[in-house]
Amino acid sequence: MKVWFTSFVLCFLCMPFVHSSAQEHTWRVYMKDKGNEPFVKGSALYKNTLDLHSQKSLERRSKVLKSGDSDFITIEDAPIYKPYIDQISSLPGCTILLKLRWRNYIIVRCDSTVASKIETFPFVHKLEKTNKRVIAQSTTLTNFYQFINNSSERTFGTVSLSGNCGTFRYGFSDTQNRMLGIPDLHSLGILGENSLLAFFDTGFRWKSHASLWNSKVEGEYDFVMLDSITANQEGDRENQDEHGTLVMSTVGGFQQDSLVGVAPNATLYLAKTEDIRSETRMEEENYSAAVEWAESSGVDIISSSLSYGRLDSTDETYSYNEMDGSFPITSRAVNDAVKRGVVCITAAGNSGPRDSTISSPGDADSVITIAGVAPDGISVIGFSSRGPTASKVLKPDLAAQCVQVVTMRLGDSTAIRFGSGTSFATPLIAGCVALMLSQYPELTPWQIRNSLFRSAEKADTFSHKDIGYGVPKIKKAMLENGPLITRISSYPVGHYMRVIAGIVSNTPITSAQLIIKFGDVTEENKITLLPTDKKPYYAIDIPLDDFNGKDALAYISVNSGTFKRSFPCNYNGEGIFTPIPFNKEDIRCGISRDSLPTIAVIASVNENNTSKTMEYFNGLLQLDLGDSPNVETIVYDVLGNLIYRKEFGVQSNQKFTFDFTPILPQSGTFYAIIKNGIHVKRIALRR
């Protein structure tokens, strides 16, 4: 195994570790079958298999698997037959370590005598050792991290991301975010909410640093010590958990003026798979078991800054020819996960600039393999591993910043530091995918992969084997899958609730509707949203009386001709009702209050659920004016682009007549604002 880390950890990777019993080994025990129970809907085995998977896992699988008569599960997902496990575990001196359902084997620790007994069981297909040592791969990175001290001249503040915390101040982390186009999304309140991201690494001491205190960690498991503690504990090497914590902070960290993670509102799962006291094949088994754990928990994305390559035993060493995308243990595991709808992302490694230096699971056919570039976003770093794979697949796939990447620092609750290595480029891309899935949960791994590839940019001076397709632009990748719709924000304005959402599209928007249920009413109302004076926001003012003194539920539906999307939505793209608080401000974190609309149309909903928010005119408009001597006329298209703006002087109390025909294009829907002193009229014009 290779953790893409720096020299003070690499020296640990070269140190031997001896188990308490020299005669004990770890073994793979492959079963011939999964017992004699039928795997059919309604059977005990089927029910037990279904119970192993969260609802999120089954919903995510629905994007890529055909259900038929099943619930997106197969016999591969079934648990290993318990009577087989019980018979093996009953042998004195035998300990069950891991159970890997997809390949139907378990990992046991025992001596050779016990192993020989296991091999005689009629249900055992084969038995083989696992604990051959791994040589730590070379790296050109030999310097320690640079430290950035927490000086008294700078204030580092932690803020809850559950409410409106205003705009983000990136500090030192600005470059790594801006390279990928992250600030544009953060400014719209897009922070990775509802996407599930798993990290596999050396451990996670995330509760010790202010930038991670608000992280949404939903699950943790230590596959080395076989417990739920992923931070250092008795028996771990000192600072074992450092690498994983630093990697995690590039996504989940949030500390104004110093470290803003790519997707600080993503839900995180943490798997400790690496044991830096030793380098054995068991780490590959830990990794594979973690893949099954994360997948069944409902995780959307797996990010690992790990690699498994050369072994010190010449008869079992992975050769270059075996790095073919499907042979190594971990490569098979991630391919199996992608088949079930999980996006898997891994580091290319730090063994460049030689060609063909990518190891497992970076060679996997389905994994997205990440190279490293300089802070200029163009230059490939020399130590970044190169492709292709043994099967001549052009790896790596994408790239992100891998030197001077800002992370948290262990040992000080607010300090930060610089990190280097493709370890730190990888989570930046994983965070991008979390942002993407938070807005487009319906996308499959292959749709995400292809969108990222098409959005990427690279200099012609670098080839695919160096940098893949280049550095992705996440907003561009999103928009090719239809209109980008932000989560709903709302706040009271007088006797109204202003409901707003950002809507960005590559093609003209023909309609935007708020689908809303008021109070205890189950009936759906449809209210047309219109563009505002602040792009890209659409808004509506809803009378407080419509709420009946209770929170409402709503989602947004947008049609751009080419695409029709709803948001928030489920894995099938169907709209999901989310709360709009009654008479309370609910502005998404990251959004500037100054960027929100200053005025909006007042909504009115009739019994037929059709919108009355717009009045349609084909040309001539007559208005009674107030006392103001000036009238300002502003016209936008449906994307909010300014078509016409002019101020007129009129006599007091006269009728104002305006012909829109000469200023409008031949066809389409347009949006006009007529201002006369304190009076504002908004209308829609259709030609």
Q: Can you say whether residue 607 is alpha, beta or left, with left for phi > 0 and alpha for psi between -120 and 50 degrees?
A: alpha
Q: What is the pLDDT of residue 136?
A: 29
User: What was the pLDDT predicted at 353?
Assistant: 94
Q: Is the dihedral of CA 247, 248, 249, 251 positive or negative?
A: positive
Let me know: does 368 contact 429? Beta carbons within 8 Å: yes
In angstroms, rounded to a whole number, what is the distance separating the alpha carbons of residues 210 and 156?
9
User: Three-class SS string for 121-163?
Assistant: CCCEEEEEECCCEECCCCCCCCCCCCEECCCCCCCCECCCCCC
Of the chain, the end-to-end C-alpha distance in Å amounts to: 65
pLDDT at residue number 16: 35
- pLDDT at residue 68 in the model: 74
Taking CA atoms, 377 is separated from 5, 193, 402, 457, in Å, by: 21, 27, 10, 9
Helix (H) or strand (E) holding 307: strand 306-307
Strand segments, DSSP code E, in 450-594 are 484-485, 489-493, 496-504, 511-517, 525-528, 530-531, 537-543, 552-559, 564-567, 578-580
pLDDT number for residue 177: 98
Backbone angles phi, psi at 329, to 5 degrees: -55, -50
Q: Is the peptide bond before 16 cis (omega within 30 degrees of 0)?
A: no
Cβ burial, residue 542 (10 Å; 0-12/13-18/19+): buried
What are residue 126's DSSP bridge partners?
30
Mean pLDDT of the chain: 85
Closest CA to 582 of 523, 485, 498, 512: 498
Give me the residues paired with residue 360 across strands: 308
d(CA 338, CA 625): 63
Greatest C-alpha distance within the chain: 106
Least Cα distance to 409 among 418, 401, 422, 400 occurs for 418
Q: Is the peptide bond before 396 cis (omega within 30 degrees of 0)?
A: yes
pLDDT of residue 453: 98
Residue 438, number of CB atoms within 10 A of its CB: 24
pLDDT of the residue at 163: 66
CA-based angle 146:150:156, to the nearest 5? 125
pTM of the model: 0.84
Contacts of 190 (CB under 8 A, 6+ apart): 435, 438, 439, 486, 487, 590
> CA torsion sign, 230 to 232 to 234 to 235?
positive
Alpha carbon distance 183, 173 (integer Å): 11
Q: What tens digit of pLDDT does each residue of 156-187 get?
A: 444 557 667 889 999 999 999 999 999 999 99
Separation between Cα atoms, residue 257 and residue 208, nearest integer Å: 19
For residue 148, give the nearest of 477, 493, 338, 416 by alpha carbon.
Answer: 416
What's the rounded Cα separation, in Å, for the pair 204 and 274?
Answer: 11
pLDDT value at residue 280: 74
What lies within 8 Å, CB to CB, of 501 at 6+ separation is 485, 486, 487, 488, 489, 529, 537, 538, 539, 556
Helices (H) and strands (E) in the chain, counts: 14, 35
pLDDT tens, position by position, 461-503: 999 999 999 999 999 999 999 999 999 999 998 888 999 999 9
> Are 501 and 510 within 8 A, CB to CB?
no
Burial zone of 329 (CB within 10 Å; 0-12 exposed, 13-18 middle, 19+ buried) = buried
How deeply is 620 buried, as exposed, middle or buried, from its count of CB atoms within 10 A (0-12, 13-18, 19+)? exposed
Q: What residue type is assigned to position 521 of the chain?
A: V
Which phi and psi (to 5°) does residue 330 adopt?
-70, -30
Domains observed in the chain = 7-129 (no CATH), 136-479 (3.40.50.200), 484-595 (2.60.40.10), 616-686 (2.60.40.3080)
| 330: helix, strand or coil | helix
Beta carbons of 228 and 222 less than 8 angstroms apart: yes
Residues (pLDDT < 70) of the chain are: 1-22, 131-160, 162-163, 279, 309-326, 604-629, 637-640, 650-656, 666-669, 676-682, 684-687
435 phi and psi angles, rounded to 5 deg: -60, -40
Q: Please, which residues have CB within 8 angstroms of residue 68's CB and are 6 or more apart in sequence?
A: none
Q: Which residue from 534, 524, 477 is spatially nearest to 503, judged by alpha carbons? A: 534
Name the CA dihedral angle for 530, 531, 533, 539, rounded to a multiple of 10 degrees: 50
pLDDT of 276: 83
